[in-house]
Amino acid sequence: MRALRIGTAALLSALALGMALPSFAQDGGISTSEPLSANMTVSDEGLITYAAESCDYGGQFLSITALDANTVQFQLCFPDPALPSKVAFSALGIYPLEHLVATGGGGEALYRNPVGTGPYMLGNWELGSEISMTANPNYWGEPAHEPNLIFRWNSEAAARLVELQAGTADGIDNPGPLDFDVIANDPNLALFERPGTNVFYVGMNNTVAPFDNVLVRQAVAHAIDRQRIVDNFYPPGSLAATQFMPPSIFGYTEEVTPFPYDPDRARELLAESGVTLPIETTLSYRDVVRGYLPQPGVVAVDIQTQLAEVGINVTIDMQESGTFLDNADEGNLSLHMLGWGADYPDATNFLDYHFGAGSSNQFGDHFPELTSILQEAAALADPDARYPLYVEANTLIRDLAPVVPIAHGGSGTAFAARIEGAHSSPLGNEAFSVMSDPDDDNLVWMQNGEPAGIYCADETDGEALRVCEQINEALLAYEVGGTEVIPALAESFEASDDLLTWTFNLRDGVTFHDGSGLDANDVVMSYGVQWDAANPLHVGRDGSFTYFQAFFTNFLNVPAE
């Protein structure tokens, strides 16, 4: 068994920060009795345990324990069959404890300077220009094929394509819908279509008039012709949405049919609702291309045109991406366009994130009848038992109409034809370590935008997550170009029959980019700083840790409002 490493750096940093931390003894153990949090204990052997007093706080974790240097155990408050899929996600990447402490759990030192175990190490981030990475020479797995990886960005699909055609980029994300044929017909380029494991939707806030009236929300659902939008503004491979999750995700059901496009019925519903017509409202969106929404401005105008036909006059309000997401989460938007791409292939990723107990106020007040069904379904291990609950949940979403699911957008990547190992991932997490460019030592990738930060515990944007996925690793991972969960930092795991106890066995010989070795305490603390809102390292970039809350329902020690 590997010994816990000596963490003098952590101790020194902690002292510098004036925090009470586990001190690392010279023999390699942790021996302090003054841990970071009241919920954290350190054994005589230096093993950290994070534990809630009970499950009354409403979250999913009861405890996270380092059983020994390379074994971590999760105790859950309720069973979660999707747990392996969740822990494979990049927001749950593992960081060295010392780095978390040294950076105070946040700030630019952390979110612009990640330290991970991945096949690439951060080289330099030239703000506004590019992020360069170099291959990790001590990678535990198959080393990166290309010595240097460079991420650049441009929000214009045409500009990305020009860079690819000119040879200044080796691969690009999300070609414009009208560019698919151009790429497919160019022998120097290769197109990799991405199936639509996402959903684009129009959301409504049930606390803002007139969308506090369910009949108005249903009228909007009847007024939008989904098929017309997909047929005209999406690339090949896209589908009109019938519910809030794509067909490839467990929980999708053909038993739920959406409200049909019927403008006359929409007008009847508006008349029944008693609201004064025409309705004047604002449709907010961000001008950011995503697989679920390849042409935001164009689709916004088409929805504006369609809603005007039934007496809903929409003013289009384009917001800066970060502002828009914050406004959506805080429930400040009455009518808005947004989407969601699968992080892991389970209904909980779509439904619980948006409508579960831990979801944001994006659609206003939660719907208790929906929340309880989702909680019940998430706790069941048997797919046959879960399925009818998701039928019920999808039916409720249709009838309550907090959202109108519009499309599952097919998208793609395009690479220079010479790039070996090029691919696209249905989850948008392309693995560049398996790609190589026979012409030089650089692989240049051009995506839509620059990440706000790359401490992905506190990021939700796919542009950031893709960078993190090259540098940081989680306990488990998704197969390259697919959705199947495979071992990563944990070479194996076991679950108890009741799915309440999960034990992860860490891989031997894994080192972080700073040279320190991976051990179980790193895992406990990487989770602990996200889980415990009272932990002084629970800082991040903006402190929202959105994915953790959405995945695991609630934080520990949430401060009273």
Residues lying near another protein in the complex (CB under 8 A): 156-158, 161-162, 176, 178-179, 182, 228, 231-233, 295, 297-298, 300-302, 304-305, 315-316, 318
Kindly state the greatest CA–CA separation across the chain: 77
Q: Which is nearer to another protein, 99 or 226 (CB)?
A: 226
In angstroms, what is the minimal distance from the CB of 181 to another protein?
A: 9
CA angle 447, 450, 455 (to 5 degrees): 115
DSSP 308-338: HTTTEEEEEEEE-HHHHHHHHHTT--SEEEE
Q: Which is nearer to another protein, 225 or 346 (CB)?
A: 225
Q: Which is nearer to another protein, 70 or 281 (CB)?
A: 281
Q: Which is nearer to another protein, 45 or 287 (CB)?
A: 287
- Which residue from 269, 308, 358 is spatially nearest to 549, judged by alpha carbons? 358
In angstroms, what is the minimal distance from the CB of 281 to another protein?
A: 14
Q: Which is nearer to another protein, 140 or 180 (CB)?
A: 180
What is the sign of the dihedral through the CA atoms of 441, 447, 451 and 455?
negative
In angstroms, what is the minimal distance from the CB of 315 to another protein?
A: 7
Q: Which is nearer to another protein, 123 or 297 (CB)?
A: 297
In angstroms, what is the minimal distance from the CB of 158 to another protein?
A: 5
In angstroms, what is the minimal distance from the CB of 210 to another protein?
A: 22
Helices 296-308 and 226-233 sit at what angle, rounded to 10 degrees? 150
As a whole number of angstroms, the distance between CA 332 and CA 319 comes to 12
The CA radius of gyration of the chain, in Å to the nearest whole number, is 24
188: tokens are 């120097």
Q: Which is nearer to another protein, 165 or 248 (CB)?
A: 165
In angstroms, what is the minimal distance from the CB of 417 to another protein?
A: 19
Q: Which is nearer to another protein, 6 or 161 (CB)?
A: 161
In angstroms, what is the minimal distance from the CB of 305 to another protein?
A: 6
In angstroms, what is the minimal distance from the CB of 80 to another protein?
A: 42
Helices 383-400 and 368-378 sit at what angle, rounded to 10 degrees? 160
As a whole number of angstroms, the distance between CA 113 and CA 111 comes to 6
For residue 42, the one-letter residue type is V
The H-assigned helical ranges of 18-95 are: 83-87
For residue 553, the one-letter residue type is T
Residues in Cβ contact with 153 at an 8 Å cutoff, skipping those fewer than 6 apart: 446, 447, 448, 449, 450, 463
